[in-house]
């Protein structure tokens, strides 16, 4: 990525690359919330199936420990995404919190900033969803 304001000329074969390239980088900001989503579903489905079908097979403690393990993985994943996004945002060298200019550099940093904030909220939300796993010990 260059910081040049005039890197805007149409690219070769832009149409073919459009979907993959562009959708990817816009969807990239949603990876952290998607991890939240996956973690949420694993917790919810795991508990729902356990409480309906598997209560005789093993204790809830095992499931809770497993799901807390999933939380650790999810948080690690989100932290990693957040770190990449933070570097992309690059606020420490640029000091830019606003990214309002219509140039590639600002768009690049903006996507980093947005992805970083989304990682932050996803991190908090995963922690929230984990709280019941710590405090509630029964299917009742």
CA angle 33, 105, 36 (to 5 degrees): 5
- Shortest CB 132 distance to other proteins, Å: 3
- Shortest CB 121 distance to other proteins, Å: 5
Tell me, letter by letter, the H, E, C secondary structure of 16-64. Answer: HHHHHHHHHHHHHCCHHHHHHHHHHHHHHHHHHHHHHHHCCCCCHHHHH
Q: Given the rule CB under 8 A, which residues bind other proteins?
A: 6, 8-16, 18-20, 22-23, 25-26, 29-30, 33-34, 36-37, 40, 43-44, 47-49, 51-53, 60, 97-102, 104, 106-107, 110-111, 113-114, 117-118, 121-122, 124-125, 128-133, 135-136, 138-140
Measured from the CB atom, the residue of 80 and 104 that comes closer to other proteins is 104
């Amino acid at each position: 990525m260059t910081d040049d304001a005039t890197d805007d000329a149409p690219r070769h074969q832009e149409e073919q690359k459009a979907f993959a390239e562009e959708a990817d980088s816009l969807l990239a900001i949603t990876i952290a919330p998607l991890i939240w989503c996956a973690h949420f579903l694993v917790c919810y489905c795991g508990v729902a199936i356990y409480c309906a079908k598997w209560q005789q097979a093993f204790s809830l403690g095992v499931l809770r420990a497993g799901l807390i393990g999933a939380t650790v993985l999810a948080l690690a994943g989100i932290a990693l995404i957040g770190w990449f996004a933070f570097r992309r945002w690059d606020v420490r060298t640029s000091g830019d919190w606003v990214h309002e200019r219509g140039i590639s550099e600002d768009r690049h940093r903006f996507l980093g900033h947005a992805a970083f904030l989304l990682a932050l909220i996803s991190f908090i939300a995963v922690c929230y969803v984990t709280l019941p796993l710590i405090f509630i010990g029964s299917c009742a």
